[in-house]
Amino acid sequence: MTIATLACAISVLAVLLVLAAWRDDHLISSNMGVTSAEVLSAGTLRSAVTFVTPDGETHNPKVGVLYPTKLTQGERINVEYRRSDPDLVRVAGRDARVAIIPALSVILVSWAVAIPALWLLGSPPAGWVGAIRRRWSRTRVAG
């Protein structure tokens, strides 16, 4: 796989991640319930919550809560969930906008690595390292 292909694939995946977050937000907003939840475990990538819906059923979504940053175990928070699928739940007041900056950061870093690598490994005169390698391998074969 080439460097450019890898950078493009990473960029596409980052964009798809943001689009998936927008889709989840739309699904929640289109059939939203709001309730209080308790944070069972808190992490930067996944936090588990438990909450009770108005029908008296307790839910503990397997994938955790969306947008879990800055939560603390034992904390009580408000959550917004999809009434027809209570496993789709987010921290109240947060939405896909919080995913944009991390996704852009991933895209920028991947291209910040890819562009110099493409420049260095490209064809002369742009790729000095590639040109030096070719010249060195010709010298080794001739010498």
pLDDT beyond 80 at 128: no
Reported as a pLDDT band with limits 50, 70 and 90, residue 2 is confident
CB atoms within 10 A of CB 48: 20
Average pLDDT over residues 125-140: 63
Cα-flanking dihedrals φ and ψ of residue 59, to 5°?
A: -125, 140
Angle, helices 128-142/97-121, rounded to nearest 10 degrees = 30
What's the CATH fold of domain 31-95? OB fold (Dihydrolipoamide Acetyltransferase, E2P) (2.40.50)
Task: Supply the pLDDT for residue 117.
Answer: 86
| pLDDT, average across residues 32-48 | 92
Which residue ranges make up each domain of the chain?
Answer: 1-29+96-143, 31-95
pLDDT (0 to 100) of residue 122: 65
What is the rounded average pLDDT of the residues 22-45? 94
